[in-house]
Structure formats: C-alpha cells, structure tokens
Amino acid sequence: MNKVVVVGAGNWGKNLIKNFHALNALAGVVEIKPALRQAVASSYQDLQVYSDYREVFETDISAVVFATPAATHYSLAKAALAAGKNVFIEKPMTLHTQEAIELAQYADQHDLILMVGHLLLYQPAIAWIRNHLISGKAGKVLHIMAQRAKLGRTCSEENVWWSFAPHDISVVLDLLGSPRLQSIQASGHAMVQPSVEDNVHVDLVFENGQTSHIHVSWYHPLLQRCTTILAERQMIVYDEITQKVTVYEKSIDANLQNIDAGAWIADVANTQPLKLECEHFLECLGTRQQPRSNGWNGVAVVEILEKAQDVMHS
C-alpha cells in the first residue's frame, strides 16, 4: 500500500492524520511547532515525526499531504512535486490562479497525482445529487444557490470569501459539469475589520447560460449551510447541517402554470466524507487515475476566488 506523510498537525491536519492512520496509510507527520509535534508523538508512537518537511523528500514515501496555511500551499506543493512526490493539498489550492496552473501542469507533465481537498465533493449527499442530475430526472439545471453562514471568528490573514467559498464553488462547478465562466459580479462588506470582508455575495454566469449565487458570511446570526438546485422539472435542497436532501417535484410548465407534485427525501449514505476523500487519494495513488478534485479542479476554483476578489476591490 502507498504510504503518506501529513505536513501540519493543527486544527485540520489532526483530522487527516487520524483518518490516514486509521486506513493504515500514514508513515509520518511533519510539524514545526514543538508542542504539536510532541502531542503527535505521544498519540501515535508508531510514527516518524519530523520537524522539517524537506526530510521527507529524502525518503521513499510516495505522497505528501499538506494541511498548512493557504499562503504556503504553492511553495510547499511545488517543492514536493519537484522531489517526485504525489501531493494532496488542502483548499484553497493556491492564492493565485497562475500558481495553481503551474502546479497542475507540472503534475501532468511528470505523471504525478495532484489532489485538492475539496471535501464536499466526497460528501455522500453531493454524490447522490450529482448522480441524480446525471440521470436526467430533474432536467437541465438552471441555477444553483449556495449559502454558508454563521457567527464565526474573523481572520486577519484571509476574508470569509477565501475561507468559506472554496467548498461551494467546487460543488457548483461539479454539479454543473465544470462549465466555463462567462462573467462574475461580487460585493463584499468588511464590517469588523477594515479590508477583511466578512459578508460576501457573488453571482456567476456560465457560457452555457447556467447561473449561480454564492453567499458566505461569518457575521450572521444563524448557522446556515444550504445548497438549492433549480432545474427544469425538479428543485433540490441540500441541508448540510442535517445531511438531508429534499427533492421537490415543482416547476413551471410551458403555459406558465405552476406544477407541484409534492416532495420526497432522498436516501443518502451516512459515511464520513473525509474518510472517503482519503480513501480516494490512496486509490488514485494505486491506480494512477485522476482524482475527482484534481489539480485542474483546483485551478477552476482558485480562478473564481481570485476574479471575485478583484471585482470586490475594483
């Protein structure tokens, strides 16, 4: 079995460590902070724990998993790929589209696996919706609305758009079949700290006429994580908090008459998406197939993140 080393044992890194260890695929952990390094060593006494990620490049480990701050993603992934390592990197892939393109191209040219941690693409509910839309039962998707909001802790390093939106952008692109972006409108509000948007609305128009609206906020009274798909024959609502997918048999016919044939709840598997994501990465290492969230999927997400940011600041 292919083994991985996880770089970063912080808030999210510890979850990746736990899952890869449970899959018997974890060979080591890299952590620069002594206290976290000691905590990992105490909890996983069978692991090699490093203080410098470059030490891993000298081993025969085939893949490196990065759970580090977004500003480090490009340089770390570039170094790992240059050392011949396959790479799993958390979202956002990079902070600039051109950097993401460079990584994706390098991975392709050197037959290396590059996967981005767009976790929701491995959520069973999203997989169910994807397959349902592919079946054609809902008809053509016309519009997707996504909201991710809560009263959260603001950050000085990144705004809510870069922190929250990669999840929803990746889902929108996946459910629409990776369409080409035609235009974008964006507005952001910095209410707590100057120049750090904590409430953002973005409208996307794609070349095939499909549209999407994304709202993200960490200055909001309610915890809301919801995706609504409006299609020709059905409307689908995914409540991420309850993990419930409701299909509404509602539409408007050619005579502009409302059709309402009720609603039903989809039967969705109850499997942790992070486990599925880690398993998928290991499978790709073995088969050399392209991950669902490969480097080019990461590029598409970063492109929308960056373009919306530019519009907000123009």
Q: How confident is the chain (314 residues) per 10-residue block, as mean pLDDT?
A: 93 96 97 94 92 94 96 97 98 97 98 98 98 97 98 82 96 96 96 92 97 97 97 97 97 91 95 97 97 97 98 93
Are residues 84 and 56 in contact, defined by beta-carbon separation less than 8 angstroms? no
In the prediction, which pLDDT does 255 show?
87
In the prediction, which pLDDT does 141 show?
97
In the prediction, which pLDDT does 155 show?
74
Query: CA separation (Å) from 192 to 18, 132, 199?
Result: 35, 41, 10
Domain range annotation of the chain: 4-118+274-292, 121-272+304-313
Strand ordering across the sheet containing 48-50: 48-50, 26-30, 4-7, 63-66, 86-90, 114-117
Q: Given CA atoms 123, 65, 155, 93 in this order, what sign does their dihedral have?
A: negative
d(C-alpha 28, C-alpha 46), whole Å: 9
Using DSSP, state whether 71 is helix, strand or coil.
helix
In the prediction, which pLDDT does 40 show?
94
In the prediction, which pLDDT does 7 show?
98
Query: Residue 163, CB half-sphere, CA atoms under 13 Å: how many?
Result: 20
Q: pTM of the prediction?
A: 0.95
Tell me: domain 121-272+304-313, CATH 3.30.360.10, correct? yes
Q: Which residue in 279, 283, 298 sits closest to 114, CA to CA? A: 298
Q: Is 47 exposed, middle or buried (0-12, 13-18, 19+ CB in 10 A)?
A: middle
Burial 254-267 (b: 16+ CB within 10 A, else e): eeeeeeeeeeeeee
Do 4-118+274-292 and 121-272+304-313 show the same overall fold? no
In the prediction, which pLDDT does 24 show?
96
Please tell me the class of the 4-118+274-292 domain: alpha beta
Structure tokens at 234: 């059905």
Q: Which residue in 248, 266, 293 sits closest to 116, CA to CA? A: 293
CA dihedral 288, 298, 66, 312 (to 10 degrees): 180
In the prediction, which pLDDT does 116 show?
98
